Chains A and B, each alone.
Chain A
Amino acid sequence: MGKKELKVAFLLALRSLQRGSRSSAILTILIVGMCFTNMIFLPGLFNGIGQSITKQVVDYEVGNVLVSPKSGDQYVTDLSATLDLINGMPGVERATPHFTKGATLTYRQRILGVSVRAISPNDEKYVSPLYTKMIAGSYLGQDDTGEVIIGKPVAGDPSIRQEDEFQPSLGGVRVGDSITIDYGNGYVKDYRVKGIFFTGWSQADSAVYTTSTDMALADPKSVDNADYITVKAKPGYSETFIKNELIQYGVTPKVQTTADLLAKNLGRALQSFAIINMVSLIVSIIITTVVLFIVITIKTINSRRQIGILKAIGVDKEVIMHSYGFQVMILAVLGIILGLIIAIALAAYMTIHPVVTPEWSATLYLTPMDLVMNSLILFMAALVAGYVPAYQVSREDIQTAMRA
């Protein structure tokens, strides 16, 4: 095929689309656009959920690297020395200990079992954005005692009756109220609620935070022990680098990156997402291929006589076949562009209005690579769908075609 032949094929394709049935062309473009949107929406949403969970795990649970007790140990021991060692390493922004203790909260007639997390408030600021999530009152001071901050779901809503609650709460605690915490070891104390926070991460929002200084009073073991240490990496340092460095420097407890933990805990969920994504992708490709196949088949059947005439006046069958190929390419490209516009608009909308559930909040997470790959896959499917009927009809003999 020379340049002249391709030029004529393109001219025939363009004119057929320009001057043929406009409603059919628009409908086809819409269908391709919708299929493209479908191809990337579900994977984009799942990726968004994955990203959201990862971010929340990093922000409120692990940091970048989690240092937890060795197998058989209950706590990370020798806490001061371990923290000094970790904080002194290159690439470490800050390491901060967590000590969690089960407790019972009492507020008026309500009793609620929760986890009380003891943190070092100032260090925690380097590792977690919790301090930015206060919706009432204020964050903990470094050496506060007798004060706690609680998650919004724990505080509860006074307008909701206890039996109607989705999640048990204290029924409407406000900043400044006093709640009683019973640690179950005989240590019972009244605390003033200093602040109420909401992170969107259910495990954090279901907890009560106090200072390590206060926890030392409730449980002296927490003074030089921690359930785990969360480590935040400085920008530019990878989790793996920090993990390897910790191991190399002789940090003896168990060291895991966020990716290690997510692979273990979310591995099955991510696999399920991948399977659903694949099914969704295949269905979209089949729909697009079938639609374009039908559209081009109908076009070629309706144009058989014209194809016969073109062949009669010396237009080669390859030119005729490519003219239908070009039509499919134009329809597919316009459909993909429409799909991209819809997808980008949806992504922008969902960035402002994420999908929020009690467990996580998610946006549509689309990478340029996802968009390019899906565009290419759809384009290739469209080519196959268009060229098969075009190939068949262009090989029909002139007499049969002209008699159609």
Chain B
Amino acid sequence: MIKIENLEKIYRMGSVEVRALDGINLGIGKGEFLGIMGASGSGKTTLLHMLGLLDYPTSGKITIDGTDIGTLSDYERTMFRLYRLGYVFQDYALVPDLTVNENVCLSAMLRKDRTPEQYGVSCDDILRKIGMYDRREHLPRELSGGQQQRVSIARAIVNKPDILFADEPCANLDTENSRMVLDLFKEINEEMQQTIVMVSHEDWHKDYFHRIVKLRDGKVVSDTAT
């Protein structure tokens, strides 16, 4: 499903070059729940941003379902993100002026293949699934961190994306809420055969992943099935 070939990302800060990704080669299959782990600065988030079309690699190639994403125009990348990818951010990244319901429905509203009735039903279903239906008219600031992260997950999966990317989604949550979020990911993965790529540095998260890729200094140092 995802093929990464010789991926490199170099940040230039004045005369200093920082090699964030250094020749990554990786394949990710459909329905996999992949964990990308590693120490801080190992390149986990950078890799996720490359895969999620949030940033451009310096060199190398990423192919998703046969599409070389390096050849896409800016607009095509946006549409690719809208129709095929979902994101869960570490700090939830909800739009503060929109209610829970509006946050979840926003990207669904933009899809040309969804009528208002269809996305209305999808949003209601997903909010019920994550236990936030009763709080759908609340603003993000009226929710706890765990609740906000659940809304963020609902927003990411409402369009039934091919791949769900999660960048340390439990970093700001306590253990109970973290477990709730991971359980939700596991459920989505099992029920919907959803491909999930998640960045984490918590050791106990390993139990949830099918496969763990460890990075160090921008290189893959291990790739193991659990």
Chain A residues packing against B (C-beta within 8 Å) = 2, 4-5, 7-8, 11-12, 15-16, 18-20, 305-306, 309-317, 319, 397-399, 402
| Docked CA distance A312–B161 (Å) | 14
Within 8 A of A (CB), among B63-121: 74-75, 78-79, 81-83, 85, 87, 89, 93, 95-98, 102, 106-107, 109-112
Instruction: Verify A20–B78 contact, CB threshold 8 A.
Output: no
| Docked CA distance A19–B52 (Å) | 30
| Docked CA distance A397–B78 (Å) | 12
Top 5 A-B residue pairs of the complex, sorted by shortest distance between their CB atoms: A314-B82, A19-B97, A314-B81, A15-B97, A309-B93
Residue of B nearest to A16 (CB): B97
Instruction: State how many angstroms separate the Cβ of B75 from the closest Cβ of chain A.
Output: 7
Instruction: Verify A315–B110 contact, CB threshold 8 A.
Output: yes
Instruction: Verify A15–B110 contact, CB threshold 8 A.
Output: no
Chain A residues within an 8 Å CB radius of B223: none
Point out the residue from A4, A15, A316, A399 that lies within 8 Å of B112, measured CB to CB. Answer: A4
Instruction: State how many angstroms separate the Cβ of B155 from the closest Cβ of chain A.
Output: 7
Chain A residues within an 8 Å CB radius of B89: 309, 312
Chain B residues within an 8 Å CB radius of A2: 112
Give 1 or 0 for each of B134-164: 1 = CB within 8 Å of chain A CB.
0000010000000000000001100000000
Q: Is the interface of A mostly helix, strand, loop or mixed?
A: helix
| Docked CA distance A12–B110 (Å) | 12
Instruction: Verify A314–B102 contact, CB threshold 8 A.
Output: no
Additional A-B contact list (5), CB under 8 Å, known A15-B102, A402-B54: A2-B112, A4-B109, A309-B95, A317-B74, A317-B78
| Docked CA distance A402–B90 (Å) | 12
Chain B residues within an 8 Å CB radius of A305: 93
Is B55 close to A, CB under 8 A? yes
Instruction: State how many angstroms separate the Cβ of B189 from the closest Cβ of chain A.
Output: 20
| Docked CA distance A317–B49 (Å) | 18
| Docked CA distance A16–B49 (Å) | 28
Instruction: Verify A398–B106 contact, CB threshold 8 A.
Output: no
Within 8 A of A (CB), among B17-50: 49
Instruction: State how many angstroms separate the Cβ of A301 from the closest Cβ of chain B.
Output: 16
20 sampled A-B residue pairs with Cβ under 8 A: A4-B109, A8-B110, A11-B109, A12-B97, A305-B93, A306-B95, A306-B96, A309-B93, A312-B52, A313-B81, A313-B106, A313-B156, A314-B82, A315-B82, A315-B107, A315-B110, A316-B78, A397-B55, A398-B54, A398-B55
Chain A residues within an 8 Å CB radius of B83: 314
Chain B residues within an 8 Å CB radius of A20: 97
| Docked CA distance A316–B81 (Å) | 10
Residue of A nearest to B161 (CB): A314
Chain B residues within an 8 Å CB radius of A4: 109-112
Chain A residues within an 8 Å CB radius of B112: 2, 4
Point out the residue from A15, A306, A312 that lies within 8 Å of B81, measured CB to CB. Answer: A312
Chain B residues within an 8 Å CB radius of A8: 106, 109-110
Chain B residues within an 8 Å CB radius of A309: 89, 93, 95
Residue of A nearest to B75 (CB): A316
| Docked CA distance A399–B50 (Å) | 11
Q: A15-B102, A20-B97, A317-B78 are in contact. Are A312 and B110 (CB under 8 A)?
A: no
Chain B residues within an 8 Å CB radius of A402: 54
| Docked CA distance A309–B97 (Å) | 13
Max chain A Cβ within 10 angstroms of own Cβ: one of B49, B55, B106, B110 = B110
Instruction: Verify A7–B109 contact, CB threshold 8 A.
Output: yes
Max chain A Cβ within 10 angstroms of own Cβ: one of B82, B87, B93, B102 = B93
Instruction: Verify B54–A399 contact, CB threshold 8 A.
Output: yes
Instruction: State how many angstroms separate the Cβ of A340 from the closest Cβ of chain B.
Output: 29
| Docked CA distance A397–B81 (Å) | 14
Instruction: State how many angstroms separate the Cβ of A60 from the closest Cβ of chain B.
Output: 62
Residue of A nearest to B94 (CB): A309
Residue of B nearest to A310 (CB): B95
Chain A residues within an 8 Å CB radius of B111: 4
Q: A4-B110, A8-B109, A8-B110 are in contact. Are A313 and B87 (CB under 8 A)?
A: yes
Residue of B nearest to A4 (CB): B110
| Docked CA distance A16–B89 (Å) | 22
Instruction: Verify B78–A11 contact, CB threshold 8 A.
Output: no
Chain A residues within an 8 Å CB radius of B95: 12, 15, 306, 309-310
Chain A residues within an 8 Å CB radius of B93: 305, 309, 312
Residue of A nearest to B155 (CB): A313
Max chain A Cβ within 10 angstroms of own Cβ: one of B52, B74, B102, B106 = B106
Residue of A nearest to B82 (CB): A314
| Docked CA distance A311–B95 (Å) | 12
| Docked CA distance A399–B52 (Å) | 12
| Docked CA distance A306–B54 (Å) | 14
Instruction: State how many angstroms separate the Cβ of B64 from the closest Cβ of chain A.
Output: 15
Chain A residues within an 8 Å CB radius of B110: 4-5, 8, 314-316, 319
Chain B residues within an 8 Å CB radius of A397: 55
Point out the residue from B54, B55, B98 that lies within 8 Å of A15, measured CB to CB. Answer: B98
| Docked CA distance A34–B41 (Å) | 54
